Amino acid sequence: MSVVAAEVWKWAVHDVSFELPPGSVTALVGANGSGKSTLLNVLAGHLPPESGHTSIAGRVAYVPQHKPMYKNFNVADVLQFGRRMNNVWDNERADEWLARFKVPRKLPIEDLSGGQRTHVTLALALGSRPDVLMLDEPLSELDPLARRKVMRELLTEVSDNGMTLIFSTHVVAEIGGVADRLLLLAGGRLLLDGDTDELLEEHVLYTGPRDSESPVEGPVVLAKHGKTQSQYLVRSGGTQIAEPWTARYVTLEELVVAHLERAA
Amino acid sequence: MSAFVWLTWRQHRWTIIGSAILVMAAAYGLLSAEVRKQTSIDSMPMSGFYGLMVQLSFGGVIGVFWGAPLIARELEERTYFVAWGQDVSPVKWLRGKALVLGVLAVVLGAVAGIGDGHVGDNKAWSAFEGHPAVQAGYALYGLALGVLIGLLSRHVVTAMAATLVMYTLSRTLLTVLLRDHYLPVSRSVARWDSTPVVPVGAVELGNGFIGKDLNPVGVPDVCATLSNPNSCMRSWGGAIGTYVEFQPVERIAAFRYIEFGLYVVLAAVLFALTFRLLRHGGGWKPSRSHRRITSEVEPVPASEPAAAQG
């Protein structure tokens, strides 16, 4: 396992345990203030946990949510910094990233836009050739086009180099087709931890006439009742069902929202 | 190590250059004041006076402008994620930076202590601080003090102010309480018919009466109430003369190196404490009170909440 968290407690994080295999892409999803950043800070070693422990196999690069960088450095200084402060440094990789996203070379970081600064911090993180890359809301300051491009490039880096990627977000639309694992946090607790495809297969939404009982066996995630209709999201793996009930798979977004609604 | 030379220069070059200019100007002022002085009653030119001001405060300048922001700025602007998120550990990072800045501070301190502005080659207690070793010790101490306070306060301006206060306070207290007694005082005694002889340039530390064994005796109550107890002591019979305690000016070199050693030891203790805090992650947890945005957005309610009126 490349990343392990065992019964971690810290401020907004309560008793979180999980294991992530090497080479996986994990999305850490949760509402604002659900403890995503705290959890990442603990994993990256910037905060000691109150109890529990974390361990990470290999070198970590972490880009926090506020994309910190020395204001008066320019791009060349950042690359120099990365080269001198790391045992392993792939200048080409960092340089390519900056070229790909057309980050101005001459300006100090404080004069760059938020998105450009994101690219600089990402380039620094990627240049150090980490085994585990942790990104806290990496796409928050990027335009819609750049979001896709960044995600695609990151996935290429993952498949080319066997890197493990963890990124947090509260925009569920961003993780469809990207993350192969989902960690769902609410109120500091881990609601869901699993393979995204498996989760999607397990959850089925049944719609039918108003009924106070679920039409199929299995844990009900969320039940909604209209005037004449009832909807049950059941985590059962899809059971055959007779008329008048209909069944369909849900999208990742519906799944996440249902779990969050239940937790709320 | 070259990595830290580069990083320190890249991040602190303007403070380093500024301090270097200040020190060179002060040293020039002090040295030229010595040269221009023809007779002992010539007054000091203003350049010498400003040089003395710089010399007096140099350790504090290093502490406030080099030491205090070193860690505090990383914590306040939350760039410690960058500084300590690479392959170098926080401890290595601080060791590298402290070493580079420490060497520079010692060199600049030595330059600041070259001249003294008025006595030149003559020894004088009044020019005690005009010595390279003494100034180097102060600079090192100021740096260590600033770094520790920066780590504890996590806020640049707070750290600078606290460093200034603590540096002034500690220097003053140590000077007043300790410096005159680094070595046992010399005592000059005399019988009633003469006065104790104090060598030229010595600093007088106290006087009183001696008994038959040549040791100081206390003043009995009958004499203590008088404004001039001398004649009373003479007729009382318990004392055979008077004494003066002093530190001869020949000891100034030894005293300067003791002062240097004292401040180097203090700096070492402060650095050890800083590294200990940094290693245990105790000093740099992001604190709620100093987060820039959240602390200012929330307005302070001027009166009771509106709910009380409704």
User: Over the stretch B75-123, which tens digit does the pLDDT of each residue have?
Assistant: 999 999 999 999 998 999 999 999 999 999 999 999 999 988 777 677 8
How confident is the model at residue A191, as a pLDDT?
93
Q: Which of B82, B97, B292 is the best substitution to test chain A (most A C-beta atoms within 10 A)?
A: B82
| Cα-based torsion angle of the residue sequence A204, A208, A213, A214 in order, rounded to the nearest 10 degrees | -10
Q: How many domains does chain A have?
A: 2
Residues A101 and A221 in one domain: no
User: Domain boundary at A138, A160, A195, which?
Assistant: A195
Encode pLDDT of A21-70 as tens digits. Answer: 999 999 999 988 899 999 999 998 888 888 988 989 889 999 999 999 99
Exposed e or buried b per residue across A117-148, where buried means at least 16 C-beta atoms within 10 angstroms of its C-beta: bbbbbbbbbbbbbbbbbbbbbbbbbbeeebbe
Residues A238 and A184 in one domain: no
Closest-CA residue in chain B for A122? B82
* Residue A243 clears pLDDT 90, i.e. is over it: no
Q: What's the whole-number mean pLDDT along residues A167-174? A: 87
Rounded Cα–Cα distance for residues B286 and B174 (Å): 34
> Mean pLDDT across chain B, nearest whole number?
86
Q: Is A21 or B235 the better-scoring residue by pLDDT?
A: A21
How confident is the model at residue B193, as a pLDDT?
87
Residues A78 and A110 in one domain: yes
Residues A174 and A207 in one domain: no
* Residue A170 clears pLDDT 90, i.e. is over it: no
Residues A175 and A219 in one domain: no
Residue B151 phi, psi (nearest 5):
-65, -40
Which of chain B's residues have a Cβ under 8 Å away from the Cβ of A81?
7, 10, 82, 86
Q: What is the CATH number of the domain that holds A129?
A: 3.40.50.300
How confident is the model at residue B309, as a pLDDT?
42
User: Domain boundary at A195, A212, A233, which?
Assistant: A195
**B15 close contact with A: CB closer than 8 A:** no
- Domain assignment of residue A228, given as a range: 198-263
Pick A77's closest partner by Cβ from B2, B10, B81.
Answer: B10
* Residue A97 clears pLDDT 90, i.e. is over it: yes
Cα-Cα-Cα-Cα dihedral sign, residues A87, A39, A179, A102: negative
Helix (H) or strand (E) holding B25: helix B2-36
Question: Is there a cis peptide before residue B248, judged by omega within 30 degrees of 0?
Answer: no
Contact A71 B6 (CB under 8 A): no
Rounded Cα–Cα distance for residues B123 and B137 (Å): 20
Least confident of A21-30, A152-161, B34-43: B34-43
Helix (H) or strand (E) holding A16: strand A13-20
Q: What's the complex ipTM?
A: 0.90
Exposed e or buried b per residue across B174-188, where buried means at least 16 C-beta atoms within 10 angstroms of its C-beta: eeeeebbebeebebb
**3-class DSSP assignment, residue A14:** strand
* Type of residue found at B116: D
**B281 close contact with A: CB closer than 8 A:** yes
* Residue B1 clears pLDDT 90, i.e. is over it: no
Rounded Cα–Cα distance for residues B231 and B101 (Å): 61
Residues A41 and A88 in one domain: yes
Which of chain B's residues have a Cβ under 8 Å away from the Cβ of A48?
281
Q: Quick one: DSSP state of residue B65?
A: I
Q: Which of A41, A85, A135 is the best substitution to test chain B (most B C-beta atoms within 10 A)?
A: A85
Residues A132 and A219 in one domain: no
User: Domain boundary at A169, A195, A221, which?
Assistant: A195
Residues A146 and A33 in one domain: yes
Which of chain B's residues have a Cβ under 8 Å away from the Cβ of A59?
87
Residue with tokens 């939350």: B78
Residue with tokens 């809301």: A137
Residues A129 and A218 in one domain: no
Residues A179 and A100 in one domain: yes
Which of chain B's residues have a Cβ under 8 Å away from the Cβ of A66?
78
Pick A84's closest partner by Cβ from B3, B81, B85.
Answer: B3
Count of beta carbons in the 10 Å neighbourhood of residue A7: 12
Percent of chain A whose predicted confidence (pLDDT) is above 70: 100
Contact B6 A84 (CB under 8 A): yes
* Residue A212 clears pLDDT 90, i.e. is over it: no
Which of chain B's residues have a Cβ under 8 Å away from the Cβ of A62?
81, 85
Encode pLDDT of B177-222 as tens digits. Answer: 999 999 999 999 999 888 899 998 899 999 889 988 888 888 888 8
Contact A68 B88 (CB under 8 A): no
Residues A26 and A103 in one domain: yes
**Which B residues in the span 255-274 are in contact with A, Cβ-Cβ below 8 Å?**
none
Residues A32 and A142 in one domain: yes
